[in-house]
Structure 1
Amino acid sequence: MDSFSKFTQNVSTNWSPFAEKLASEKLTNNAEVTELPTDYVALEQRYEAVRHATQSLVRLTRSYTAPPTNFDVQALQQQFTTLTSKIGGKRDAEAVAAAQRKEEESMPNTVQHAIARASLDVSERVGLEEPLGAALFKFGSIEEKVGNEKIRQDRCIHAKFIEPMAATLESGVALAQNARKEVASARLTLDAAKAVFKSAKPVHADAARRDVESAEDHFVTVVEEAMRLMRAIVESPAPLRHLSDFVAAQLAFHKEAAALLEDLAPEIEEIQVTQEALYRHENK
Structure 2
Amino acid sequence: REEIKSITLRCQNFYKKSRDTASKHTFTKGGENFSEIHRFQPEISCRHRENLLPSVLLVVKICSERTSGVVKRKNQENLPSLVKIVCEGIKMNMNIKMPDFDMKKFVKDAGSTLSRVVQLTEEKLGTSEKTEMDAHFEHLTERSECTRTWTEKIVRDTEAALIPNPANRVEDYIFEKIEKQKSKRLSNLEYLGLDMIEGGGEFGQDGPYGSALIKVGQAEQKLGSNERDFIGSAGMCFIQPLKKFLEGEMKTITKEKGILESKRLDLDACKNRVRKARSMLGQQTAERDLRVAQSEFDRQAEITKLLLEGISTTQATHLRHLHAFVESQVRYYGQCNKIMNDLQRELASLGGPQPYVPVAGYEEDDELAGRLNSVDLSGNSGYKRARVLCSYDAKDGTELNLTSNEVIFVCECNPPNSDYMNGKQGLLKGLVPKAFLELLDD
Both structures adopt the same fold (TM-score exceeding 0.5): yes
Aligned to 2:278: 201
Identify if the C-alpha distance between structure 1 residues 25 and 206 changes in structure 2 by more than 3 Å, giving closer, same or farther. closer
CA distance in 2, matches of 1:120, 1:252: 27
| Alignment length (residue pairs) | 222
CA contact (8 A) 1:173 1:233 kept: no
Deviates more, 1:189-198 or 1:29-38: 29-38
Return the match for 2:353 from 243, 259, 273: 273
1:145 CA displacement: 1.3
Residue equivalent to 1:262: 341
Separation in 2 of the partners of 1:32 and 1:229? 27
In the alignment, does 2:151 pair up with 1:45?
A: no
Distance in 2 of aligned mates of 1:194 and 1:275: 83
Larger radius of gyration: 2
Question: How has the CA–CA distance of structure 1 residues 56 and 119 changed in structure 2, closer, same or farther, with 3 Å as cutoff?
Answer: same
Question: Does residue 1:218 correspond to 2:315, yes or no?
Answer: no
Shift of 1:200: 0.7
Alpha-carbon separation, structure 1, partners of 2:297 and 2:204: 78
Cα deviation per residue 1:161-201 (whole Å; 9 max; x = unaligned)?
Answer: 22222211221111101011011111111111111111112
Q: Contact 1:67/1:109 (CA < 8 Å) preserved in 2? A: no
- What is the CA–CA distance in structure 2 between the aligned matches of 1:128 and 1:185, rounded to whole Å? 75
Q: Which has the higher strand share?
A: 2
2:242 counterpart (165, 185, 202) = 165
Give the partner amino acid of 1:273: P
Tell me how far 1:69 sits from its aligned partner: 7.4
Summarize the Cα distance change of 1:242–1:118 in structure 2 as closer, same or farther, 3 Å threshold.
same
Answering whether residue 114 of structure 2 is matched by residue 36 of structure 1, we say no
**Is residue 2:115 matched to residue 1:115?**
no
Q: Distance in 2 between matches of 1:188 and 1:157?
A: 44
Contact 1:51 1:173 in 2 (8 A): yes
Shift of 1:48: 1.0
Which structure shows the bigger proportion of residues in helix conformation?
Answer: 1
Q: 1:58 aligns with which of 155, 161, 175?
A: 155
SS in 2 for 1:128: coil
Query: Quick one: distance in 1 between partners of 2:156 and 2:354?
Result: 48
Aligned to 1:80: none
Query: Could you tell me how far 1:231 is from its partner in structure 2?
Result: 2.3
Structure 1 pair 188–107 and aligned structure 2 pair: CA distance change class (3 A): closer
Q: How far did residue 152 of structure 1 move?
A: 1.9
Query: Is 1:183 aligned to 2:260, yes or no?
Result: yes
RMSD over equivalenced CA pairs, Å: 3.0
Higher relative contact order, chain-length normalized (CA < 8 Å, sep 6+): 1
Query: Counterpart of 2:305?
Result: 227
Q: One-letter code of the match for 2:337? A: A
Counterpart position of 1:240: 319
Partner of 1:129: 206
Q: Runs of 4 or more off by more than 6 Å in structure 1?
A: 24-27
Structure 1 regions of 5+ residues with no counterpart? 1-23, 72-105, 278-284
Q: Is the 8 A contact 1:67 1:110 kept in 2?
A: no
Asked if 1 retains the 8 angstrom alpha-carbon contact of 2:160 and 2:166, the reply is no
Tell me if structure 2 keeps the 8 A contact 1:187–1:219. Answer: yes
Secondary structure at the aligned position of 2:131 is classed as coil
CA offsets per residue over residues 184-236 of structure 1, 9 Å max, x none?
11111111111111111241222212222221221122122112222223432
**Displacement of 1:25:** 7.5
SS, match of residue 215 in structure 1: helix
CA distance in 1, matches of 2:167, 2:293: 58
Asked if 2 retains the 8 angstrom alpha-carbon contact of 1:33 and 1:191, the reply is yes
* Alignment correspondent of 2:49: none
* SS of corresponding position for 1:30: coil
Give 3-state SS (helix, strand or coil) of 2:353's partner.
helix
**204-213 or 249-258, which moves further after superposition?**
204-213
> What is the match of residue 251 of structure 2?
174
Query: TM-score if structure 1 supplies the norm length?
Result: 0.69
Quick one: which amino acid aligns to residue 353 of structure 2?
A: V
Contact persistence 2:192–2:217 (CA under 8 A): yes
Contact 1:183/1:219, CA 8 A, preserved across alignment: yes
Structure 2 unaligned blocks of 5 or more: 1-120, 169-182, 357-375, 377-442
In structure 1, distance between residues paired with 2:212 and 2:165: 25
Q: For residue 310 of structure 2, what is the amino acid of its counterpart? A: A
Q: Tell me the residue number matched to 1:3.
A: none
What percentage of residue pairs aligned between the two structures are identical? Answer: 25
Displacement, 1:274? 5.1
State the one-letter code of the partner of 2:147: V
Letter aligned with residue 298 of structure 2: V
Q: Which residue of 2 aligns with 1:156?
A: 233
Which shifted more, 106-115 or 225-234? 106-115
C-alpha distance after superposition, 1:132-173 (max 9, x if no partner): 222221111111112222222122112222222221122111
Shift, 1:111, TM fit: 2.0
Task: Give distance in 2, aligned partners of 1:142 and 1:121.
Answer: 14
